[in-house]
Amino acid sequence: MSDDTYKNQIGWNFDNSYFRLPGYFYTKMHPIPVSDPHVVIINQKLANKLGLMLEKPSKKELAQLFSGNALPKGSEPLAQAYAGHQFGHFTLLGDGRAHLIGEHVTSDGTRVDIQFKGSGKTPYAKRGDGRAALGPMLREYIISEAMHNLGIPTTRSLAVVTTGEKVYRESMLQGAILTRVASSHMRVGTFQYLATQKDGKGLKQLADYAIDRHYPELKGSEQPYLELIKAVMNRQIDLLVNWLRVGFIHGVMNTDNMAISGETIDYGPCAFLDSYDPETVFSSIDQMKRYAYANQPHITQWNIARFAESLMPLLHKDIEQAAALAEEVIQSFNAPFQTAWLSMMRRKLGFFGEDKADELLIADLLKWMKHHHADYTNTFRDLISETIPKGDYYVTEDFQDWWERWLIRLKQNSESTESAFSLMRASNPAFIPRNHQVEKALFAAEEQSDFSKLHKLLEVLSEPYVDKPEYKEFQKPPKPEERVYQTFCGT
């Protein structure tokens, strides 16, 4: 292709509804061009799903496109304004290093945000450089795609390019830009931001926009904004229970990192449990263990409380009555969460129907796992058998007792044991992005420009519920010397 027509030939179909919202929702601005972009990875499957024809442009042209050096027709780039409680403290934030380049509408009418992360400083950058390093962007790529394949709502990753420029963190690193695809980027913090604006007009506009985009069934209801809080809470409960199911620890559940759509967003120092311990924290910046594995339900409820608070002006003219309405929703969190959690754990253990002894069986297994530092993922997968699992730590009296109780409960099922095992196979992944494997793939990519480990890992994680003996290595927990104790944002 001679000129720059390639920009418009890959099939973008932009319709930028957020851009049509009032100016105080965002700052219009272009990504800052980079000197020498190169494609590191492109998600061909996702591109196909979005109807993008990435075969047409050359690699060089793709690098221009996915660095923001060349913007396609119809793109109206902006940086979103938002606020957020970061580790409990309220701050005004906004996209400091991200640009929403537009909303792409696929042929079946699905609308997705296309956002660059690491694409240069915006007015919200504060002291940040507006850039991102290759490691963290590839980390988000790996883990978000793994989450998608695990069947968990998440933003996705379409491409990573290096910028040809250095970024300075603890050391000098390669700069990179991630193209993120999300059903939207509205966060709890977006509502908090608009609630701080004087006239409150923007708040109603945002709430109506969120209902239109994500909860159209609420339109016309008597109390749409109260219903919105409940609906967001329900999606967050579903998300949270999925996280707990696979042992995911988000790591930075600040209110600016909680999406209204119910997708997992902002992969920073997130990680998966190896050995089971509910108090596990990986993030180096989470000294108080605020975002520990088992604290995630409490934090989800806390964040929903902040969401409800920000919507209070829309709930009732009388502030006390508004507070009472909000409070009622927040207090209703536990019952549906407990129900969803219990039913998820039942599926993990292959139980159909309910038995009053189930809760004790679940609690006893978790207690045993904690005591023996059992691997969270492998334990559930090992149970899928009519014979007692093999392995050193199963040869304990307490496990044998528990296993016999479990087997009796399994036989009480209304469905066959084979059906129970199918249910377990679908609820318990064989493959998760184990921290030590992720770190190995990132090290090879960053330090040795060797992307083979990254591709291999992505392949392993592509069908996480299917047994694949050839990938046995990836099921192993870390050896003591491989164990990752801390993860870093690397922002």
Question: Which residues form the interface with Mg ion (CB under 5 A)?
Answer: 257, 266
Q: How far is the CB of 132 from ligand AMP (least distance, A)?
A: 6
Q: How far is the CB of 85 from ligand AMP (least distance, A)?
A: 12
Q: Does 125 bind ligand AMP (CB under 6 A)?
A: yes
Q: Does 96 bind ligand AMP (CB under 6 A)?
A: yes
The string over 159-188, giving b where at least 16 C-beta atoms fall within 10 Å of a residue's C-beta and e elsewhere, is: bbbbbeeebebeeebbbbbbbbbbbbbbbb
Given the rule CB under 6 A, which of 37-45, 120-128, 305-313, 465-473 is the region that contacts ligand AMP? Answer: 120-128
E strands, 369-469, in order: none
Q: Does 257 bind ligand AMP (CB under 6 A)?
A: yes
Q: Which is nearer to ligand AMP, 97 or 346 (CB)?
A: 97
Chain residues 304-363 in contact with ligand AMP, contact rule CB under 6 A: none
Q: Does 92 bind ligand AMP (CB under 6 A)?
A: no
The structure tokens 């990132």 sit at 442
DSSP 164: E
Enumerate residues 6+ apart whose C-beta is below 8 A from 448.
none
256 belongs to the catalytic site: yes
Q: Does 93 bind ligand AMP (CB under 6 A)?
A: yes
Q: Does 97 bind ligand AMP (CB under 6 A)?
A: yes
DSSP 30: P
Q: How far is the CB of 130 from ligand AMP (least distance, A)?
A: 5
Q: Does 487 bind ligand AMP (CB under 6 A)?
A: no
Q: Which is nearer to ligand AMP, 12 or 25 (CB)?
A: 25
Q: Which is nearer to ligand AMP, 251 or 464 (CB)?
A: 251
Inter-CA distances, 123 with 29, 39, 206, Å = 9, 27, 21
Q: Does 268 bind ligand AMP (CB under 6 A)?
A: yes
Give the count of residues interacting with ligand AMP (CB under 6 A): 19
User: 125 contacts which partner out of ligand AMP, Mg ion, none, CB within 5 to 8 A by kind?
Assistant: ligand AMP
Q: How far is the CB of 416 from Mg ion (least distance, A)?
A: 46
* CB atoms closer than 10 angstroms to residue 207: 23
Enumerate residues 6+ apart whose C-beta is below 8 A from 414.
352, 353
* CB atoms closer than 10 angstroms to residue 152: 19
Q: How far is the CB of 461 from Mg ion (least distance, A)?
A: 23
Half-sphere exposure of 350 (CA within 13 A, CB side): 26
Enumerate residues 6+ apart whose C-beta is below 8 A from 194.
25, 202, 203, 205, 206, 310
Residue of 7, 99, 104, 131 that binds ligand AMP (CB under 6 A):
131
Among candidate residues 95, 113, 256, 286, the one labeled active-site is 256
Beta strand pairing status for 156-168 and 172-182? antiparallel
Active-site residue set: 256
